[in-house]
Structure 1
């Protein structure tokens, strides 16, 4: 499954980037991701409230969550969102199958 990581560096992370480079970061993160049996896709730096977006191919949400946990524990991030992709047709089919949601008091 494909997941996106959308992150905002902490002051510590931003300071570390000043002593690094795009290539060095991609190489280091790719090696970490591969140790989890996953594969890093694209890594892009952004303008705005978030600094980086990267995608990875992982075997499960749990693997992605473990990667997110170790990255947050580094202190390099103020925020690191984990955004798994989904099969929208499957979600729509479930919604159509279950029908409506009975509001409390209208059971």
Structure 2
């Protein structure tokens, strides 16, 4: 098995992977990949992650049918983050939302949380 060149995984063998809608530029989700899930993503044309909670490979959309179809895969300048530009076939978030990023934080949220801590 050949290694994927010049990828910097963390101490747990994982790398953050951002899925982005290639048509709109919208960030869909953030997951983590190990070398095998990155290899499967590159070879299958669909996104695979490594589930940190279940400690197993996770084919995104395998249960729901809402897959993320890969258009291109990029690494950042430090080779420690992956960006997958893709086409979602349906809602990406387990809540049924198009993206996992649908809960905007505001200045009021930050001040409220800060006041609770002090």
Q: Would you say same fold, with TM above 0.5?
A: no
**If the length of structure 2 is used for normalisation, what is the TM-score?**
0.30
Higher strand share: 2
Which one has the largest radius of gyration?
Answer: 1
Identify which of structures 1 and 2 has the higher relative contact order when contacts are C-alpha pairs closer than 8 Å and 6+ apart.
1
Higher helix share: 1
**If the length of structure 1 is used for normalisation, what is the TM-score?**
0.32
